[in-house]
Amino acid sequence: MFRLPGLHEGEKCSMLGPAVTSHNSQLIRLDTNSPAEGSRRLLFGLDAVSLTARMVEEGEPAWRGRQLAEAIYRQRFTSLEEITTLPKQLRQRLAAEGWEVGRPRIVQVFQSVDGTERYLVQGQTEDRQTVETVWMPEGDDGETGDGSDLDTAEGTGKSWSRATICVSSQVGCAVNCQFCLTAKLGLQRNLSAGEIAGQVVAVFDRHGVEVGRDRVNLVFMGMGEPFLNYDNFMAAVRLLVEEVGLSPQRMTVSTSGIVPGIERFAEEPAEARPKLAISLNAPNDVVRSEIMPINRKWPIEAVVDAVRQVRLRTRERITFEYVLLGGVTDRPEHAAEVARLVRRTGLPAKVNLIAWNPGPGIAYTMPQPEAVEAFRRALAAEGVPVYLRRPRGRDIYAACGQLKRTVEDSA
């Protein structure tokens, strides 16, 4: 079948300019909390061990499981018919038993003038609920944050030399940070491991990413709080590392400071876990409790104590994300306080500044560019490594904290 490069069956491509007007046609029901699999029998989301067990149950040799894993995670086949390494009879038998690949699909694409793309990805439920994933060619400087990742696309035949994918972990979020659009959705449901890893594989497919050659960073900073969906989130990381072949050192997970989640994370083997980012966002507990009510449960010191339990790899640093809210968290005295706070933790750390991205119904203001620059300089002068995150895809509501827009518009 002929396919337009990067476009898959049933996928629409929306070329949207700076003024996004309508996001029509996406029927989304937000009234379900059902488990991802429903009545379907899905292969995508199972690791090689489970796929092997499946094959053995079918009376097949164990190595068929590895073949199947290879086909869905490396060759990225999305239907059983395509997996010609398996005998036809076996494929037909699996299909007759109700098995399908069931990889999440990109169902809508929004393209920004800056090259960023935002996707609505249909998960594995039958309720047509979508999640959002963002592709940022050349990243947003929030990964290594120090420009060390810069490279050229020369000789690769690609328009990008490195890219960052921002991945969602839940539909909506229960944490209720006052400045975040996703919070307005409340928590709709957790994503399964297959739905989290599937966002990455679907985007890889769209952009022809070659694992092992292309430089792609993953940030688990889309919709949702990964540490409130811990098991599925870490199972997705394992799928991405073991089956897809990605390095966990190129992944960063961001948490609002869910202490029990950080404590579990600290138990993970260092070579198998992503890097850790903490959404600090305020210079002290008073301001933080105001803008992040979760701080009343787990204040800054409790979060930092938990972070101290994480054994860091050589040269690894903890990232503190800091959203600058005009007049609320962006004043010079705040910068001095943040510098003291970060130094007091004794952790090898860096600060990632993010100018607040506005959204409807949220009564904060964007920081003045001069305030952002002064804040950055003040931290640098105190010897704190600090990087400014470039806003990406603002015109398509793809920037940090804006991942809610279409869900609301199309419901």
Q: With contact defined as beta carbons under 8 Å apart, do 411 and 188 qualify? A: no
Choose, by CB under 6 A, the member of 138, 141, 225, 395 that binds ligand SAH: 225
Q: Which among 18-26, 250-258, 305-313, 328-336 is the span making contact with ligand SAH, rule CB under 6 A?
A: 250-258
46 is a contact residue toward ligand SF4 (CB under 6 A): no
83 is a contact residue toward ligand SF4 (CB under 6 A): no
Q: Which among 66-74, 140-148, 171-179, 267-275 is the span making contact with ligand SF4, rule CB under 6 A?
A: 171-179
C-alpha dihedral sign at 53, 40, 8, 213: negative
356 is a contact residue toward ligand SAH (CB under 6 A): yes
Out of ligand SF4, ligand SAH, none, what residue 342 binds, judged by CB under 5 to 8 A for its kind, is none
Backbone phi, then psi, for 111, in 5-degree steps? -110, 130
218 is a contact residue toward ligand SF4 (CB under 6 A): no
Is there a catalytic annotation at residue 13? no
**Residue number with CB closer to ligand SAH (143 or 321):** 321
**Cα 407 from Cα 30, distance rounded (Å):** 9
252 is a contact residue toward ligand SF4 (CB under 6 A): no
**Cα 13 from Cα 109, distance rounded (Å):** 5
259 is a contact residue toward ligand SF4 (CB under 6 A): no
User: Which candidate in 60, 117, 132, 243 is catalytic?
Assistant: 132
28 alpha-carbon distance from chain centroid: 21
Q: Which among 101-109, 117-125, 173-181, 189-197 is the span making contact with ligand SF4, rule CB under 6 A?
A: 173-181
**Cα 271 from Cα 277, distance rounded (Å):** 17
188 is a contact residue toward ligand SAH (CB under 6 A): no
Tokens 């029509």, residue located: 24
CA atoms within a 13 Å half-sphere pointing along the CA-CB vector of 204: 29
Q: With contact defined as beta carbons under 8 Å apart, do 281 and 293 qualify? A: no
DSSP characters over 223-257: SS-GGGSHHHHHHHHHIIIIII---GGGEEEEES-
Rounding to the nearest 10 degrees, give the CA dihedral for residues 153, 154, 158, 162. -20
Shortest Å distance, C-beta 36 to ligand SAH: 20
Contacts of 400 (CB under 8 A, 6+ apart): 221, 323, 354, 357, 389, 391
**Cα 393 from Cα 140, distance rounded (Å):** 10
Is there a catalytic annotation at residue 132? yes
256 is a contact residue toward ligand SF4 (CB under 6 A): yes
355 is a contact residue toward ligand SF4 (CB under 6 A): no
Choose, by CB under 6 A, the member of 11, 117, 141, 321 that binds ligand SAH: 321
182 is a contact residue toward ligand SF4 (CB under 6 A): yes
Q: Which among 104-112, 154-162, 174-182, 304-312 is the span making contact with ligand SF4, rule CB under 6 A?
A: 174-182
Choose, by CB under 6 A, the member of 255, 319, 329, 406 that binds ligand SAH: 255
Where on the chain is the footprint of ligand SF4 (CB under 6 A)?
173, 175-177, 180, 182-183, 224-225, 256, 279
| Active site amino acids | 132, 400
